[in-house]
Structure 1
Amino acid sequence: MNIDLSRRGFLRLAGAGVAATSLGAMGFGAAEAAEAASVRAFKLTTTTETRNTCPYCSVACGIIMYSRGDVKAGETAELMHIEGDADHPTNRGTLCPKGAALKDFVHAPTRLTHPRIRRAGSDQFEEISWDEALDKIARAVKDDRDANFIATNDDGTPVNRWTTTGFLAASATTNETAWLTYKTVRSMGIVGFDNQARV
């Protein structure tokens, strides 16, 4: 038996074969349709998706956290899963080993969730409220600035410096937040200002 097949005819036949096989591989076959009907639902479909920033280093990778429970309705949210954010320009969905283990960091029994203070003469830390912690910080900042602010130098030139307090800013932030932090710190006269990215 002699088959007379031109080069062009062979390419057409091969192309039709590739197209038919591709359609079957994409799920248009009967076996694939039957298998798709028996697949269970994706486990994160009933969760709330929240975007955030990894807290570990100064790279500021984007993460997506999945939780169950309606916080607005008074329920406690349970963190189910954390993964890298593929739409984030910094990490494009990848995470380092520390970032990949963030769920364990969140659920760690030793994780601090409230401010603590060690009072004078004590060897123990005690939990205090956020209001008390912020009031103590504000009072310490105000007292130190009032006592040590330098308005002018020796020849009367205005310098508006405050050299006895320093400020360490976070690097896992937006450009807008970083700009506002810088302006706030400099407007108080603080000279010692650095960023966590350099530490």
Structure 2
Amino acid sequence: MGISRRQFLQGGALAGAALALSGKPGEASVDAPELRTKGLKSTTTICPFCSVGCGLIVHTKDGKVVNTEGDPQHPINQGALCPKGGALFQIANNENRLQRVKYRAPGSDTWEEKSWEWAMDRIARRMKETRDKSFKKSELNKKDNKEYVVNRTDGMAFFGGAGLDNEECYLWTKFARAMGVSQLEHQARL
């Protein structure tokens, strides 16, 4: 038995109407966002991906992220998100996300789990060693053959990311300058 195009469209419309009417009243859906997020704690934040600074609303329940969406009150994105911002939920809720420090010793082919205290201590020690090895107090200027005070290290560079807000960038820059690092760069500028 053949079915005409008209019969197919009529049957599809009837099936769609039946599905729409079969939903329970008061059930959360895309059309009822206030029901979908009812009882959840809402927090506004900024997307960490690029330097645009799009606003987000993050909904949490018992400290766990359950929903992210664009903030319609934010002046930059007015609720719209790019594909990366729209997929932000997957950063917080992803079984592949590393939760512990992984370390692979030089020449080794296996990863070991280490504590955060061990990692922070090792990073601080390596930064201090690098700074001490490459620190220059003064430098000779070849043009006028004078020695000038420079107090810098050429053995390290600091690279910032868009996940930092203005205040964090300010503190990060102050820390880098205090360490004597002169090579500062930020992801937003590249």
Category of TM-score, reference length = shorter chain? 0.7 to 0.9
In 1, distance between residues paired with 2:110 and 2:55? 36
1:59 partnered with 2:55: no
| 1:111/1:189 CA distance change after superposition, 3 Å | same
2:3 alignment partner in structure 1: none
Count of residue pairs brought into register by the alignment = 155
In 1, distance between residues paired with 2:75 and 2:102? 36
2:79 alignment partner in structure 1: 93
In 2, distance between residues paired with 1:125 and 1:90? 42
Q: Is the 8 A contact 1:67 1:78 kept in 2?
A: yes
SS in 1 for 2:163: coil
Larger gyration radius, structure 1 or structure 2:
1
Which structure 1 residue ranges, 5 or more long, are not aligned?
A: 1-37, 70-76
> Alignment identity in percent?
36
Query: Normalising by structure 2, what TM-score?
Result: 0.73
2:107 alignment partner in structure 1: 121
1:187 partnered with 2:178: yes
In 1, distance between residues paired with 2:75 and 2:110? 43
2:69 alignment partner in structure 1: 83
Deviation at 1:88, TM superposition (A): 2.9
Q: Spell out the pairing of 1:107-186 with structure 2 (5 A cutoff).
A: 107-154=93-140, 155-186=146-177
| 1:88/1:173 CA distance change after superposition, 3 Å | farther
In 1, distance between residues paired with 2:76 and 2:123? 33
Deviation at 1:139, TM superposition (A): 0.4
Q: Is the 8 A contact 1:59 1:172 kept in 2?
A: no
Q: Is the 8 A contact 2:48 2:164 kept in 1?
A: no
Deviation at 1:156, TM superposition (A): 3.3
Residue identity matched to 1:179: Y
| 1:188/1:50 CA distance change after superposition, 3 Å | same
SS in 2 for 1:159: strand
Query: Normalising by structure 1, what TM-score?
Result: 0.70
SS in 1 for 2:95: coil
1:46 alignment partner in structure 2: 39
Which structure 2 residue ranges, 5 or more long, are not aligned?
A: 1-24, 28-33, 141-145
SS in 2 for 1:42: helix
SS in 1 for 2:185: strand
Deviation at 1:187, TM superposition (A): 2.2
Deviation at 1:66, TM superposition (A): 0.8
Q: Give a deviation string over 1:16-69, Cα, whole Å, max 9, x none.
A: xxxxxxxxxxxxxxxxxxxxxx64671312111122222222323221111111
Q: Comparing both structures, which one devotes a greater share of its residues to helix? A: 1
2:91 alignment partner in structure 1: 105
Q: Give a deviation string over 1:69-113, Cα, whole Å, max 9, x none.
A: 1xxxxxxx3321100122333322211112112222322221122
Q: Is the 8 A contact 2:153 2:181 kept in 1?
A: yes
Q: Is the 8 A contact 1:60 1:173 kept in 2?
A: no
Q: Give a deviation string over 1:1-30, Cα, whole Å, max 9, x none.
A: xxxxxxxxxxxxxxxxxxxxxxxxxxxxxx
| 1:103/1:171 CA distance change after superposition, 3 Å | closer
Deviation at 1:114, TM superposition (A): 2.4
In 2, distance between residues paired with 1:58 and 1:46? 32
